[in-house]
Chain A
Amino acid sequence: MTSRIVAWAVLLFLPLPIVIVVLSSFTSAGYLSFPIEGVSLRWYAEFLGSADWLKVLGTSALLALIGALVSTGASFAAAWAVVRHGVPLGGSYETLLLTPLIFPHAAIGVIMIVTLAGLGWLGTFTGLVLVHCILTIPYAYRPVAAALRKADPALEEAAASLGARPWRIFWLVSLPAVRPGLVTSLLFSFIISFDEVTVTMFLVGPFVMTLPVQVFSEVLESASPIIAAVSAALVLFTSLMVFVLDRVIGIQFFVERD
Chain B
Amino acid sequence: MTSTQTRADPILRIESVTKSFGSFTAVRDVSLEVGEGEFVTLLGPSGCGKSTLLRMIAGFEQPTSGAIRMRGQDISQQAAYDREIGMVFQNLALFPHLNVFDNVAFGLRARRRTEGIDRKVREMLALVGLEGFETRGTAQISGGQRQRVALARSLVTSPDILLLDEPLSALDLKLRRQLQGELKRIQQDTGITFIFVTHDQEEALSMSDRIAVMNAGRVEQFGSAVDTYHRPQTEFVARFVGETNLLRGQVHAADAARVTLRLDGLAAPVAVAVPLPAGETPPGQGDPVAISVRPEHVELGRPGLHTCEARVTSHSFSGATITYALDSAAGPLLARVPFQPGQGHPLPDGQSVSAGWPDEAVTLIPDQPGHDTTDKEI
Asked whether A and B interact, the reply is yes
Q: Which residues on A are within 8 Å of B, measured CB to CB?
A: 152, 154-155, 157-165, 168, 172-173, 176-177, 179
Given contacts A159-B106, A172-B110, contact A164 B93 (CB under 8 A): no
12 A–B pairs (Cβ distance < 8 Å), ordered by A = A152-B93, A155-B96, A158-B93, A159-B106, A159-B110, A161-B80, A161-B154, A162-B81, A162-B153, A164-B81, A165-B110, A177-B96
Q: Does B60 lie at the interface of the complex (its beta carbon under 8 Å from any beta carbon of A)?
A: yes
Q: Are A155 and B81 in contact (CB under 8 A)?
A: no
What is the distance, in angstroms, from B60's C-beta to the closest C-beta of chain A? 5
Given contacts A152-B91, A162-B107, A164-B110, contact A157 B60 (CB under 8 A): yes
Q: Does B157 lie at the interface of the complex (its beta carbon under 8 Å from any beta carbon of A)?
A: yes
Q: Does B95 lie at the interface of the complex (its beta carbon under 8 Å from any beta carbon of A)?
A: yes
Q: Are B97 and A165 in contact (CB under 8 A)?
A: no
Q: Does B167 lie at the interface of the complex (its beta carbon under 8 Å from any beta carbon of A)?
A: no
B96 / chain A contacts, CB cutoff of 8 Å: 155, 177
What is the distance, in angstroms, from B13's C-beta to the closest C-beta of chain A? 20
Q: Are A160 and B93 in contact (CB under 8 A)?
A: no
Which of the segments B82-90, B175-183, B191-199, B304-312 contacts the partner chain?
A: B82-90
CB-CB nearest 9 A-B residue pairs: A162-B107, A164-B110, A154-B93, A160-B80, A163-B111, A158-B93, A176-B97, A161-B87, A163-B110
The residue among B59, B60, B83, B157 with the most chain A CB atoms within 10 A of its own CB is B60
Q: Are A163 and B95 in contact (CB under 8 A)?
A: no
Measured CA separation A162–B103 after assembly (Å): 11
Measured CB to CB, the nearest residue on chain B to A164 is: B110
Q: Are A161 and B91 in contact (CB under 8 A)?
A: no
What is the distance, in angstroms, from B150's C-beta to the closest C-beta of chain A? 9
Of B80, B110, B157, the residue contacting A157 (CB under 8 A) is B80
Q: Does B139 lie at the interface of the complex (its beta carbon under 8 Å from any beta carbon of A)?
A: no
B95 / chain A contacts, CB cutoff of 8 Å: 155, 158-159, 173, 176
Measured CA separation A159–B106 after assembly (Å): 8
Given contacts A168-B110, A176-B97, A177-B97, contact A160 B91 (CB under 8 A): no
A163 / chain B contacts, CB cutoff of 8 Å: 81, 107, 110-111, 157
Contact bitstring B274-309, A, C-beta under 8 A = 1, else 0: 000000000000000000000000000000000000
Q: Are A165 and B93 in contact (CB under 8 A)?
A: no
Q: Are A154 and B91 in contact (CB under 8 A)?
A: yes
Of A155, A168, A172, A176, the residue contacting B93 (CB under 8 A) is A155
What is the distance, in angstroms, from A1's C-beta to the closest C-beta of chain B? 39
Q: Are A161 and B106 in contact (CB under 8 A)?
A: no
Measured CA separation A157–B92 after assembly (Å): 11
A152 / chain B contacts, CB cutoff of 8 Å: 91, 93
Measured CA separation A154–B154 after assembly (Å): 14
B85 / chain A contacts, CB cutoff of 8 Å: 161
The residue among B59, B93, B107 with the most chain A CB atoms within 10 A of its own CB is B93
A176 / chain B contacts, CB cutoff of 8 Å: 95, 97
Q: Which of B211-267 contact A (CB under 8 A)?
A: none
What is the distance, in angstroms, from B197's C-beta to the closest C-beta of chain A? 15
Measured CA separation A155–B85 after assembly (Å): 16
Q: Does B79 lie at the interface of the complex (its beta carbon under 8 Å from any beta carbon of A)?
A: yes
B81 / chain A contacts, CB cutoff of 8 Å: 160-165
Measured CA separation A161–B86 after assembly (Å): 6
Of A154, A162, A165, the residue contacting B86 (CB under 8 A) is A162
B110 / chain A contacts, CB cutoff of 8 Å: 159, 162-165, 168, 172
B93 / chain A contacts, CB cutoff of 8 Å: 152, 154-155, 157-158
B59 / chain A contacts, CB cutoff of 8 Å: 160-161
Q: Are A158 and B89 in contact (CB under 8 A)?
A: yes
B60 / chain A contacts, CB cutoff of 8 Å: 157, 160
